[in-house]
Amino acid sequence: MNYTFHWNTVWNVKEALLKGALVTLELTIASMLLGAFLGIFIAFGKNSSRKLFVNIASSWIEVARNTPCLFQIYMIYFGLGQFGINVSSYFSVLIALTFNNAGYLAEIIRGGLKSIPVTQMTTARSLGMKISNVYIYVILPQVFKIVYYPSTNQMMWALLNSSLGMVVGLSSDIAGVTSFEQARTFRAFEFFTAAAILYYAIAKLIMFLSKTLGKKIYGTD
């Protein structure tokens, strides 16, 4: 091998890389929260009796799950541009990730809703509770426990997909910073190794935090 490794070039820009890690985390967490919020509505929409809601919800879910995430990013970045709306690469990634997360989370939530016996609703109603309260106090708390771990799994996907921003010119997350720096220094191997390590570390961090929080939620059963 006729190559000398220059790891110090990577070390020199460590602040930029760490800042990039923060942006990556930001994109991951924000898109998950927004996705979860929308996902609840989509889940109820698909279970609704109004055909319009069912169609919108199903379309969202099926497009999100059957097209590549990068395609979804392109649709926002390039697609909206055709209508004169110019979205930055950051927001293209954020919106596309949210769209993607919402589709997957909606199915996860629907699965959770389905596993709650109908009798929980019947019993709560026989106590005089109105339907919205039954969902808030009886159904959704139980659903939350069921969807927790699948949701942390989805969060991992959000983390991995956030790196796609690099393809549309995002330069502030880990992949973007790495790409920018390697174009400047031609040290692709060193920089992308660093990127790989950073992503791995963040993935481990997320898993650790989820397990810890999970223990609190599920108690010591």
Partner 1 sequence: MESNGTVEIITGLHIGDFFFMLQGAKRTIILTLVSISLGTILGLFIGILRGVFNKYVNYIFGLFLDFVRSVPLIIQFILVNAYFGISGHAKSPFFIGVLVLSIYSGAYISEVVRAGVLAVPLTTRRAARSLGLSWFHDLFYIVFPIGSRAVFPSWINIVIGLFKDTSLIAVIGYIELLRAGEIIITRTWEPILVLGCVGLFYFIICYPISKWSERFEKKVLT
Partner 2 sequence: MIKIENVHKSFGNLKVLNGINLEVTKGKSVVVIGSSGSGKSTLLTCINGLEKIQEGKIFVDGIEVNEKKTDLNLLRTKIGMVFQQFNVFPHLTTLDNITLALKVVLKKSNEESKLIAIEQLKKVDLFEKADIYPNKLSGGQQQRLAIARALAMSPSYMLFDEITSALDPMLVGEVLDTLRILKKDGMTMVIVTHELRFAREVADLIAFVHEGKILELDHPGEVFDRPKNDETKKFLERALK
Q: Rule CB under 8 A: which residues touch partner 2?
A: 117, 119-120, 122-130, 133, 137-138, 141-142, 145
Out of partner 2, partner 1, none, what residue 129 binds, judged by CB under 5 to 8 A for its kind, is partner 2
> From the list 7, 11, 37, 78, which residue makes contact with partner 1 (rule: CB under 8 A)?
78
What is the CB-side half-sphere exposure of residue 52 using CA atoms within 13 A? 0
Nearest Cα residue to 174 out of 8, 10, 18:
18
Residues touching partner 1: how many (CB under 8 A)?
Answer: 39
> From the list 7, 11, 62, 131, which residue makes contact with partner 1 (rule: CB under 8 A)?
62
> From the list 18, 22, 136, 196, which residue makes contact with partner 1 (rule: CB under 8 A)?
196
- The distance in angstroms from the start CA to the end CA of the chain is 54
Out of partner 2, partner 1, none, what residue 115 binds, judged by CB under 5 to 8 A for its kind, is none
Considering beta carbons, is residue 54 or 75 the nearer one to partner 1? 75
Residue numbers 199-218 binding partner 1 by CB under 8 A: 199-200, 203-204
Considering beta carbons, is residue 2 or 49 the nearer one to partner 1? 2
Say whether residue 89 binds partner 1 (CB under 8 A). no
Nearest Cα residue to 94 out of 31, 176, 156, 163:
31
Nearest Cα residue to 67 out of 42, 99, 91:
99
Say whether residue 193 binds partner 1 (CB under 8 A). yes
Say whether residue 167 binds partner 1 (CB under 8 A). yes
Tell me which residue has tokens 């990039």: 20
Give the integer Cα–Cα distance in Å for 49 and 46.
8
Give the integer Cα–Cα distance in Å for 125 and 157.
38
Give the integer Cα–Cα distance in Å for 22 and 221.
34
Which residues have C-beta within 8 Å of that of residue 155, sequence separation ≥ 6?
Answer: 28, 32, 206, 210
Give the integer Cα–Cα distance in Å for 173 and 2.
31
Cβ at position 119, least distance to partner 2 in Å: 5
Cβ at position 203, least distance to partner 1 in Å: 4
- Residues in the site for partner 1, rule: CB under 8 A? 1-3, 62-63, 65-71, 74-75, 78-79, 81-82, 156, 159-164, 166-167, 175, 178, 188-189, 192-193, 195-196, 199-200, 203-204
